Amino acid sequence: MGKAIYEKNDIKLDNYNLLVDEALFHNANGYIGVRSAFEEGYPENFKTIRGEYINGFYDFTQTEQAENIYGLVHEKQTMLNVADTQSIDIYFDDEKFSIFEGTVLKSKRWVDMDKGITGRFVSWRSPKGKEVEIKVIRMASFYQLSLFTIEYQIKPINFSGDVMIESNHNGNVKNFFDPHDPRNADESFQYLTPESCYIQYGASYINSHTSKSGLEVCSCVKNFLSGESERQFIINESNAQCQMSTIAQPGKKIKLIKYAVFADSLRVENCKVTAASEMKKALSVSLQELYKHQEDYLAEYWENSYVEIQGDNELDMALKYNLFQLIQSVSKDEYGNIAPKGLSGEGYEGQYFWDSEMYIQPFFTITNPEITKSLIAYRYEILDKAKENAKLLGHKKGALYPWRTIMGKECSGYFPAGSAQYHINGDIAYSIIAYYLATKDLDFIQEKGAEIIFETARLWMDVGNFYNGQFHINDVTGPDEYTCIVNNNYYTNALAQYNLQWAVKLYFQMRKLPEFRKMQKRIKLSYEEITEFKKAAEQMYLPYDEKLKINPQDDSFLQKKHWDIDTIPKKNFPLLLHYHPLHLYRYQVCKQPDTILAHFILEDSQPQEVIRNSFAYYEKITTHDSSLSRCIFSISASRLGLEDKAFKYFGDSTKLDLMDLHKNTKDGIHTANIGGNYMAIIYGFGGLRIKESGIYFAPILPKKWTGYRFRICFENRRIIVGITKDHCTFFIESGEPIAINVYKKEYLLDGKLTIHRKKTLRRED
């Protein structure tokens, strides 16, 4: 890939841009996440979302409902700000370092995607004329997931004198809230209570417990200062301050290294003992060795995830930034998943959605499939909770995964656009099948995947019903949250059909295996159920309009009034913040692709003409208020040969966070959109499809690019694909020869294969 560093020079010090930078330059490794607030803090009148988070660690909080109706959510889970280990105050004699006072001569922030670190540089002159250069390197370790480090370098330029450093470890923290934005928590609450704060072997420990969930977390901090002359600790029940002194000399660097580790009771039995052990492990090697481990981890990641845009360095850098955020955000164990904001902020309160399965797992499935296994394992861990959720909503059998969750219970207080989105069952089933098709890992499917497939299939049989020879699914909401509680949502029905079909296939494929029989007996899966699955799949009703030759989004969608979205004032977007939901539900207006997404993932379910007509129809009425929208339109436009449109949608999508296009990056990055960026290249421009019948490519080349290359993992093979104006090149780096389909023609890939591209090679029928 191209440039591995994203940087900003001459940092803007207004509150809004500082909040955005807290997200853009955050550090995370899938277990911990630390927003990039200044170590020394901001002026009192500035807002900050100064958070440090643990993936999957949560507390319960009340959700008020206007009416106490049975089954509505009255309690939800929220991700917690667990501690503040990043605070560092510097005093030069009697002057405290703050770039909001004195003069900033030069400043820069950066993230190095190869080294896995972020940096900040400030050249500063104090009000009394002292000049100093400060460089800060921060890392959330992939080698040791519990570890966050700060390397703080101070270089006095024109003075000597006393330097005092106050390094704080604060357990008295709260979560961010914004009562004016439904995507954030609307109230402040003390979720964590510190129960002990003490010093042991020169390290500070704070052990805290949650208010309701019964979880504990321990954070441990240790500081090392070069040339240290004096040290003391000031502690109370919730804060430990390490005060260190040294002498400043012109040109001589002073270095502080601050180590912080975390342990939580979701994953370990004794948080205090584990935190001490993790600190010992961190200190057993030098910081430089930790940096080397970080770089080695990422070298392997970038090799597996290799994708390069040729002819557009800016877009290539943005793409690499995005993919770095995915590996920072995704959980590496079954206790967490990946939230819409990753670990970069508190938008959506750290809850997990369908984004994981439909936008992010496709990336990991063909680059780092072990991570996909971990994400599926998380869904398996909460399967019993999904069964409880199904019963709560009145279903006698099966599992219904919650729309929003952390530990398995539903968090969505507004059920029409939340709990009613039954398609999440189909999304999860689809992602498991996609993993199987890409890896042929039947052992894992037998161990965890199949049970999810069968329990979700059971749910469709209970929520749907046969009527006039067809199977209908009524009163659900599809992906488009501007159209809620409808009958026969096309996307939902199509995915339900796919779920049921694969439940039948897996049953007959695995029924003679001993482990499968044990599972079958345990969940009481009968042959009669399989017969019903098959019948429902064959008779699934999929809405179709003969006149328009499109798939209507649902049974009533085409009956609604049209709303020319070009006439809506720009200040009224996103619509959900300016119009009552019922107003939106009465119009043909979409927040994001619904039927278009179904046509992408299940393209063989409809003729090309229907897919083309549907694209043209829904494009005019989609607002793209969701960050999940443009990437799917890009992929669909690529499939239809609409290259200019595909590229436009892709460009907007790729720079969404770096340019803050939705004006809410301050709350965290948009992980699902990032996954969609990748799909827009590989599945869109590259035309990749992985089906039961094999692997398919149909590449196009955007006019502004000279070419692009990417690597994928398929059935234990590593394949590099390169596209230029005249050629498509396929090279099998490892694994046995395999048949591939390119532009609807089959080839044997054994070594290197070069195909001459022609203008007639389009994806139109």
What rounded mean pLDDT belongs to the chain?
95
Half-sphere exposure of 22 (CA within 13 A, CB side): 29
Q: Where are the domains of the chain?
A: 5-276, 693-765
Non-local (6+) Cβ contacts of 672 within 8 A are 340, 353, 355, 358, 359, 360, 627, 628
Average pLDDT over residues 150-155: 98
Identify the pLDDT of residue 653. 80
d(CA 606, CA 489): 15
Identify the pLDDT of residue 182. 60
Positions marked catalytic: 481
d(CA 78, CA 345): 12
Strand partners, 467: 470
d(CA 184, CA 296): 36
Q: What share of the chain in percent tops pLDDT 90? A: 94
> How confident is the model over 616-661, as pLDDT tens digits?
999 999 999 999 999 999 999 999 999 999 999 997 788 899 999 8
CATH architecture of 693-765: Sandwich (2.60)
> How confident is the model over 384-416, as pLDDT tens digits?
999 999 999 999 999 999 999 999 999 999 999
* DSSP SS3 for 604: helix
Average pLDDT over residues 303-325: 95
Average pLDDT over residues 433-458: 98
Average pLDDT over residues 549-578: 96
Identify the pLDDT of residue 762. 46
Q: What share of the chain in percent tops pLDDT 70? A: 97
Average pLDDT over residues 160-173: 97
> How confident is the model over 91-138, as pLDDT tens digits?
999 999 999 999 999 999 999 999 999 999 999 999 999 999 999 999
Surface-to-core class of residue 720, CB atoms within 10 Å of its CB (0-12 exposed, 13-18 middle, 19+ buried): middle
Q: How confident is the model at residue 537 (pLDDT cuts 50, 70, 90)?
A: very high
Identify the pLDDT of residue 754. 96
- CATH superfamily name and code, 5-276: Glycoside hydrolase, family 65, N-terminal domain (2.70.98.40)
> How confident is the model over 282-293, as pLDDT tens digits?
999 999 999 999
Q: How confident is the model at residue 763 (pLDDT cuts 50, 70, 90)?
A: very low
Q: What is the full DSSP assignment across 341-362?
A: TTTS--GGGG-B-THIIIIIHH
